[in-house]
Amino acid sequence: MLKNTLETVSRGVLGRVLVLSALLLAGLFLAPGPNAQAATPTDNAVYEGFITLARIFYEVNVKFVEEPDSTEMVNGAVRGMLSTLDPHSSYLTPEEMNEFQQEAGGSFTGVGMELSVKDSVVTVVAPIEDTPASRAGVMSGDQIVNIDDKSTKDMSVMEVVKLIRGPLGTKVTITVNRPSMKRSYTFTLVRDHIPLRSVRSEELTPGISYIHISNFQGDTAFEVEKAISTLVTASTRGLILDLRNDPGGLLEQAIKVSGLLIGPAMIVETKGRVNDQNVLYNSDQQAVLPVNLPLVVLVNEGSASASEIVAGALQDYGRATILGTKTFGKGSVQNVVRLQDGSGLRLTTARFYTPSGRPIQSEGITPDVEVPSVLPPNYKPTREVDLERHLLGVNEKAGSRSKNELVEVEEKENFDEFEAPPLPDKPVREMTLAERLDFDKQLNQAVELLNKGQIKSGFNGLAPKRRQKKALG
């Protein structure tokens, strides 16, 4: 009797799984593009793969020593599928989707780090300005290996984020490897409200205005326009736009900010495998910054995505002088789709190209004036090209880079022997201008060039000439 009951249940489970697989396959074969063709050998391989997946799900669901959580198994299968793609495609549970939307809205409680995956380890892309992480000395490229003595091995970015975030005012201790220095550090950070205030501005010196964008969120263009209207007067001799350690954000805001500086123009192009991803994005903004006012844009290894779009457009049009170090090189488009259960799919669908046709993915933006960042000796920053499974750039060949070896975690008792990263003695906002310029060589160079009248706007309102070489779509 027991055996018959088990067989009945088993057939029911297998039947439901096979129905699910059939529905998935129906979507694959019954909804092809306009140029529909018969199933190919590749399609048949996919079919066989779904049958294998259904059988494995059935075997586990029925025969595993303890009753498994079917929802967790499905989530794990989806995450596994997406993990074969690039580091920016991911599955978001309903809880994670809500957190993602909170961040897009401009605030969360945590320590202030943009994270990705490199060499199968969750890695810091950039610390967010004026947050517990940046004040403690966390740097781009740091590998997060322990959180409160819990190993992060095999954890996803979202799992790490869950451990790092917590109630306001509570502490979290993280251990990081700094591979380029072959050393490890521990940081005990107090969780804080991270408002992600995207725009800060000031008159740096008489005649030189300064605007810093920490990320591109819903009100960024509005705040930049307000800052320009307040700071730029008849006596202004130049503007510094600081995009350093800006991990990106909303594409529409990057386009609007670019438009505020150059007016109506084509800002960025996207190219993907599906036709609706091949788009020229134009700004319809009227320029609020005088087009002949000297403009310097600061970038570094932490400038990514939307910040690279702005820097690339301004460079192509000759509107600004780009100063600093080569940017991160994150030039891919992610579409976020909310699914019926409140979860979400974040999927890479296209590559970004500057107005002249330069690819951003893996290439980044090379500054016109190179000035090194304030970094420890022998420190090698992490860029998109270093990330595991990164989307190849147009000029990059598969397998052209060898995988970096992970640095083993040093014994905890040796942490105090490690060289501390270079940090100012006090927060930037508390420094005098002289102290700030002495510490920040990139900002110092921008001010010096503007004071000497060596920055000229080459913008003439015309679109840059498109390159003849066809870019990979």
* Three-state secondary structure call for residue 79: helix
The phi and psi torsions of 192 (rounded to 5 degrees) equal -135, 165
Instruction: Indicate the residue type of 19.
Output: V
Give me the residue label for tokens 């599928």. Answer: 81
* 316 has catalytic annotation: yes
Instruction: Indicate the residue type of 193.
Output: H
- CB count, 10 Å around CB of 185? 21
In whole angstroms, give the CA distance from residue 276 to residue 145: 40
CA 381 from chain centre, in angstroms, equals 15
* Three-state secondary structure call for residue 372: coil
Q: Which of 191, 186, 292, 188 is nearest to 239 (CA)?
A: 292
* 330 has catalytic annotation: yes
Give me the residue label for tokens 């087009």. Answer: 291
Q: Which of 103, 463, 350 is nearest to 248 (CA)?
A: 103
In whole angstroms, give the CA distance from residue 374 to residue 360: 24
Q: What is the DSSP letter of 216?
A: B
Instruction: Indicate the residue type of 197.
Output: R
Q: How many helices (H) and strands (E) does the chain have?
A: 11, 19
Pairing of strands 171-178, 143-147: antiparallel
Instruction: Indicate the residue type of 406.
Output: L
What CA–CA distances, in Å, run from 9 to 2, 3, 54, 196, 248? 11, 10, 16, 51, 50
* Three-state secondary structure call for residue 128: coil
In whole angstroms, give the CA distance from residue 222 to residue 17: 50
Catalytic-labelled residue, pool 86, 316, 386, 440:
316
Catalytic-labelled residue, pool 89, 305, 332, 373:
305
Contacts of 421 (CB under 8 A, 6+ apart): 137, 139, 375, 376
140 and 114 Cβ atoms separated by less than 8 Å? no
Number of residues written out for the chain: 473
Catalytic-labelled residue, pool 86, 330, 332, 373:
330
Instruction: Indicate the residue type of 396.
Output: E
Instruction: Give the tokens for residue 384.
Output: 């998109």
Active site residues: 305, 316, 330
